[in-house]
Amino acid sequence: MITIDALGQVCPIPVIRAKKALEGLGEAGGVVAVLVDNDISRQNLQKMAEGMGYQSEYQEKDNGVIEVTIVAGEGCAVETSGTPADSGLVVAIGRNTMGEGSEELGRILLKGFIYSLRELTPPPARLLFFNSGAYLTSKDSNSIEDLKAMAAQGTIIQTCGTCINYYGITEQLAVGQVANMYDIVTAMAEAKRLINI
């Protein structure tokens, strides 16, 4: 049995850590136990397990700790192959926060979203950044390591040139390439699947 201590870790980190551990089990299957400290993480882990065709159960322990046990049976291995181009997924990010409301929460959510994109199999084919989303590809971005990792996997990352000029961050571009609006529109129009934030 593999045990993952995800206490204090926010969504989606416990789910992604569990998914990686399950993928590592291979065809033989096995058991992964994940320790979390909130019911939302417990629910997300059990939804992931169900979506993967695995059995799960949970037990409440002392001090608010919840142990989620996921059983992966023989022959239930997760498909982990594919290149970014195979996904056909294009993600367009036009802001440096996610959703409406608290800006601080919006930044946290967007960082978690980009981290989750990095963990997709296969990863997105292309990431497009424009308007205040252009800040996310600059050297001061809290998501720069995740973006660089996706670029290393083959994801094409493009940032609007007009936007980085407008915000005065042209020299701070740290990942990907500069694009014009025609490039961005073409990529969105030709996408097999498109997420627009």
pLDDT computed for residue 156 by the predictor:
94
Write a three-state SS string for 80-119. Answer: CCCCHHHHCEEEEECCCCCCCCCHHHHHHHHHHHHHHHHH
Residue 141 backbone phi and psi in degrees, to 5? -70, 140
| Residue that terminates a domain, selected from 13, 44, 70 | 70
Range 70-85 burial, b when 16+ CB lie within 10 A, else e: bbbeeebbbeeeeebe
185, 92: one domain: yes
pLDDT computed for residue 4 by the predictor:
95
Does residue 79 belong to any structural domain of this protein? no
pLDDT computed for residue 74 by the predictor:
57
Indicate left, alpha or beta for 183 from its phi (over 0: left) and psi (-120 to 50: alpha).
alpha
63, 110: one domain: no
pLDDT computed for residue 11 by the predictor:
78
Domain count, the chain: 2
| Residue that terminates a domain, selected from 38, 70, 102 | 70
pTM of the prediction? 0.69
pLDDT computed for residue 121 by the predictor:
85
Domain around 56 = 1-70
Does residue 75 belong to any structural domain of this protein? no
Taking a C-beta distance cutoff of 8 angstroms, is the pair 45, 68 a contact? yes
Alpha helices in the chain (DSSP H): 13-25, 39-51, 84-87, 103-119, 144-153, 161-167, 181-190
**CATH number of 134's domain:** 3.40.1260.10
- Average confidence (pLDDT) per 10 residues, the chain, 197 residues: 92 88 86 92 87 88 93 60 78 96 95 93 94 96 96 94 95 94 92 94
Q: What is the CA radius of gyration of the chain?
A: 19
| Residue that terminates a domain, selected from 70, 101, 119 | 70
**CATH number of 64's domain:** 3.30.110.40
